[in-house]
Amino acid sequence: MARKTVKPAPIKAKKAPAKASLSKNGGATRPGAIQLYYWPTPNGHKISIMLEELGLPYEMHPVNINKNEQFAPAFLKLSPNNRIPAILDPNGPGGRPISVFESGAILQYLGRKTGKFYPQDERARVAVDEWLIWQMGGLGPMSGQANHFVLYAPEDVPYGKKRYVEEVRRLLGVMNTRLGKVKHLASAYSIADIACYSWVKSASRHVPLDPFPNLAAWFARVGKRPAVQRGMKVGAELRKPN
Ligand SMILES: N[C@@H](CCC(=O)N[C@@H](CS)C(=O)NCC(=O)O)C(=O)O
């Protein structure tokens, strides 16, 4: 593992804004290290898993979304949608720095940069893109809404709970059917599997995986990968109460 957590974070919260600005290299302490702006959530885990899979040097900057740090002007320059994750790669195209927001775009960027987990063959790439976009537009947002209504909504909204939990169940069924035909979503292990893993884990809090044996087998198989285990642990300490 080539990760380092950089403290203090170069990001200041909305409520205590921002003399802080990001330097050209995003606050890198090691030359060339990818700067990961992150909180340990399912969307954050996609990128920590990918970086662990790639073995690239990276430095993690916590952006505490419980303290509104995602609204800090310095962070918005990297991630105008005020959401984690985002990365800054000091060695982007042409050897110049590049920042990327949106977890799907980050996975594709890192896949293209390294030639790993994102095949160049067009048919294989289309399959990866299909399941990646399926995760970005379906499994992620619907599981996020299910989490909201089941765990965090300030009032009990049975209709919201039912609507999103049932949609998550439907999506897990779609994945189960696919995984009855192929070992991984796009046949070979790819950024599509990386994108889905943390969201299936999250969804399994509301919808047990037992009725979906192909999905459960995939979840166990992917979860055994050492890089997935390391990626899921990145920043776990940040969640602990002070
Ligand atoms: N489509 C975005 C979604 C990112 C997202 O929703 N991130 C959450 C954490 S999982 C966040 O930053 N939430 C902060 C907020 O809601 O203000 C992506 O995939 O990068």
Q: For ligand 1, say whether the CB of 105 is within 6 Å of any of its atoms.
A: no
With beta carbons less than 8 A apart as the criterion, state whether 99 and 85 touch.
no
Using CA positions, which residue lies closest to atom 1 of ligand 1? Answer: 102
Let me know: does 67 contact 11? Beta carbons within 8 Å. no
Q: What is the pLDDT of residue 30?
A: 86
Q: How far is the CA of 195 from the centre of ligand 1 (A)?
A: 13
CB 22 within 8 A of CB 74: yes
Q: What is the pLDDT of residue 240?
A: 74
Q: How many helices and strands (H and E) does the chain possess?
A: 9, 5
Q: pTM (2 decimals)?
A: 0.92
Domains and CATH numbers, the chain: 3-117+229-239 (3.40.30.10), 122-225 (1.20.1050.10)
The pLDDT score that the predictor gives to residue 241 is 64
**Is 167's C-beta closer than 6 angstroms to any atom of ligand 1?**
no
Decide: 43 in ligand 1 pocket, CB within 6 A.
Answer: yes
Q: Tens digit of pLDDT per residue, the chain (242 long)? A: 566 666 544 444 444 333 345 666 777 788 899 999 999 999 999 999 999 999 999 999 999 999 999 999 999 999 999 999 999 999 999 999 999 999 999 999 999 999 999 999 999 999 999 999 999 999 999 999 999 999 999 999 999 999 999 999 999 999 999 999 999 999 999 999 999 999 999 999 999 999 999 999 999 999 999 999 999 999 999 987 65
Q: What is the helix (H) or strand (E) element at residue 195, kind and residue range?
A: helix 191-203
140-147 and 191-203 helices, crossing angle to 10°:
20
| Ligand 1 lined by 34 (C-beta under 6 Å) | no
Instruction: Output the pLDDT for position 29.
Output: 85
Q: Which atom of ligand 1 is nearest to the CA of 68?
A: 17
Cα 67 from Cα 81, distance rounded (Å):
16
Terminal C-alpha separation, the chain? 26
What is the pLDDT at residue 19?
30
42 lines ligand 1 (CB under 6 A): yes
CB of 206 shorter than 6 A to ligand 1: no
Nearest residue (CA) to ligand 1, atom 2: 102
The pLDDT value recorded for residue 20 is 42
